[in-house]
Amino acid sequence: MQYRPDAAELLDAIASLLERDVIAAVPPHLQHQVRVSANLCRILQREAELAPANDTAERDRLSAVLGHDGPLTELRAELAHRLDDDSAIDATTDRLIRDSLLATLRADLAIAKPGYDTITGAP
């Protein structure tokens, strides 16, 4: 049974309280810390909401790149090991790795800095 509120809802409530009420009640020299605290709550809120699906998608991408399934931490380690030995990476695999890492970066940015995950640039 899932109890309410969940972690994301609690973090939203804390961030809202900090942004709406606390910041105006503290001395000016502490307002920056309150803003930072509210932002950290928002990051944790997004992480609670997005991380499970992001991790599943990353595991699926890495499984496709590496040719087998496994725990995400092991797939990440294997990819890092393969990147250290780039002699085994052909052009097609290189593109798959690049696309996978870019998708993972965008998913991480959607949590840490929303809006930056949609910026496009040179491929």
pLDDT tens for residues 31-87? 999 999 999 999 999 999 999 999 999 999 999 999 999 999 999 999 999 888 877
21/123 Cα distance (integer angstroms): 44
Residue 39: give the domain boundaries.
7-118
The CA-based dihedral angle spanning residues 37, 40, 42, 47, taken in that order and rounded to the nearest 10 degrees: -160
Structural domain includes residue 2: no
Mean pLDDT of the chain: 93
Structural domain includes residue 123: no
Please state the domain count of the chain: 1
Structural domain includes residue 106: yes
H/E stretch holding 17: helix 7-17
Structural domain includes residue 70: yes
- Contacts of residue 8, Cβ cutoff 8 Å, sequence gap at least 6: 45, 48, 49
